[in-house]
Each structure stands twice: as structure tokens, then as C-alpha cells.
Amino acid sequence: MNSASKHGPAVTGVDTHVHILRVNASLAADRHSAPSRDTTVPELFGLLDAQGLSHAVLTAPSFYGEDNTVLLDALAQGESRLLGTITAGPETSVVELQRLARSGVRGIRCNLIGRPETGLRTLAEKAAATGLHLELLAEADRIPALGASVLAAGGVLVLDHFGLDADLGFVLEAVAGGDTWVKLSAPYRLPNRAVAADRAAELLAHRPDRLLWGSDWPWVSHEHEGFGYSSTVDWLGEWVPEEHLRRAVLADNPARLFGLAAAG
């Protein structure tokens, strides 16, 4: 669990998966998507404020590769409301990760969809040594082995987007161990919405204290499907109908993981 000091205003709700995008930023050669528009910190704050949410976690999109410039620039504008999950490689030093942690970085994202696993265990060890979690996105059939590697290295594992439709037995066993967290986010990235609802119910029955919520705003490659930011908040209400559990997912759980001060 992250041991970072308390950061910013008291937590009323955390969107743990958003993207700040700049169309004119350099893109990685092996990207599988690209930004369709700029998104800004003021725009994000407007969305958060309309829903009564206090914080957001900027998640590095894969199309910028290991260039975190856009994300770090946004963190500098964050008014203590923003934290970050960067991209990094196994060659990144612990000293550099410590420097980034002082800037509000709380995790390292590994999007391995369509990419080989290269140095994941080394990166997980460095993340653990720095107090950062390692956030994993990969093809569903690869997630159990990759996730187990992160945990074996002593890392704290965060699974994007319900863990996709990876073997639910692995996901439930991992969250039961206490060092794995799952984001209830982006149901449109699963085979269908029913799969997302079923996984949410199973996870809620086992470890509601290890669940997070994210909007996935601005929904790269799904921008034109007809839903808005408030819809993503409404989905959480469908998955987690009990108010006290919904507060845990929105506020209490991310406050623990990210080292934030929960509202009284």
C-alpha cells in the first residue's frame, strides 16, 4: 500500500483513470491509437466539480510511449487535486522514480497489449522499492502470468478495466491477497457490459476494499458512443448500489492506495 504523505484537499471522490491529451505531442511509433483532441486540466476540473469529486489520477496513455511530458505538465497545474500514473521502462532508475514520486506520481503503467513483456519483474521491483504501484493492462489470457510476476516481485498490482475478462479465479485470488486492486472502469473495453456487471458483483462480494473507480475520460477510441462523463458515474451506481460501498470505492479505497486524506 502506498505510504505517500497526505496530498491536497480531503477526498470526496477520486476518478482513478483519466487522460490529459495533447494532439501535437510526439507519438510512439508502435502506438495502436492516437488522441483525437486536446483535453485540459480546466476541462477535467469542470467535470470533477459537477460530480462533487475532489481528485483524479492522470493515467499515461500508451501512444506517448515513455514520454511523460504531457502528464507531468498537467500535474504541475493540478492544484493538489491531481496524481499520476506514468509509463517507464526497466532501465528507469530508482532515483528517477523517487523524483517523480515527489511530483505526484503514484504508479507506473504497463500497457502490454500487442507488446512483449520486457523487464516487467525488474520494473515491479523498482516500483516496490519506491512505494509506487504497478498498473497492468494486457490481453486477458496474459494477465494471470504477468500479474503473478508483479506480485512475486513484491509489487502492488493495479488491474485496469476490471482486469478485462481475465480468468476471474486469478483476479479474486489476487485481491484476496491484499496487494491487488481492480479498477471498475471502461466496461466498453470488455466483451459486453454484462461481463463488467458480473465481474463487479463478484469482486464486490469478495474484497470491496480493493476496488477503485475510473471514468477512462475522454474514452480514446470510444469517444463517439453517445455517453458522457455523468454516464460513467451512473454506471458505478449500477455496479455498486449500496451507498456505503460506493463511498468506499469512490473515496476510502483510493485514499488508502494513493495516500490521500479521506473526508470526515
pLDDT tens per residue across span 210-246: 999 999 999 999 999 999 999 999 999 999 999 999 9
Q: How far is CA 70 from the centre of its chain?
A: 17
Q: What is the largest CA-CA distance in the chain?
A: 47
Answer for the pair 110, 134: CB distance below 8 angstroms, yes or no. yes
Peptide bond between residue 61 and the one before it cis (omega within 30 degrees of 0) = no
pLDDT tens per residue across span 193-204: 999 999 999 999
pTM: 0.94
Per-residue model confidence (pLDDT) at position 2 = 40
Would you say the C-alpha torsion 29, 153, 59, 74 has a positive or negative sign? negative
Alpha helices in 113-209 (DSSP H): 120-130, 143-152, 168-176, 193-206
3-state per-residue secondary structure call for 26-79:
CCCCCCCCCCCCCCCHHHHHHHHHHCCCCEEEEECCHHHCCCCHHHHHHHHCCC
Residue 191 C-alpha cell reads as 466483451
Per-residue model confidence (pLDDT) at position 50 = 98
Q: Domains of the chain: which residue ranges?
A: 14-258
Answer for the pair 180, 209: CB distance below 8 angstroms, yes or no. no
Report the distance separating Cα 235 and Cα 48, nearest Å.
16
Per-residue model confidence (pLDDT) at position 62 = 86
pLDDT per residue as tens, the chain (264 positions): 343 344 578 899 999 999 999 988 777 667 666 787 999 999 999 999 999 999 999 999 988 889 999 999 999 999 899 999 999 999 999 999 999 999 999 999 999 998 888 899 999 999 999 999 999 999 999 999 999 999 999 999 999 999 999 999 999 999 999 999 999 999 999 999 999 999 999 999 999 999 999 999 999 999 999 999 999 999 999 999 999 999 999 999 999 999 997 654
Secondary-structure class of domain 14-258 per CATH? alpha beta
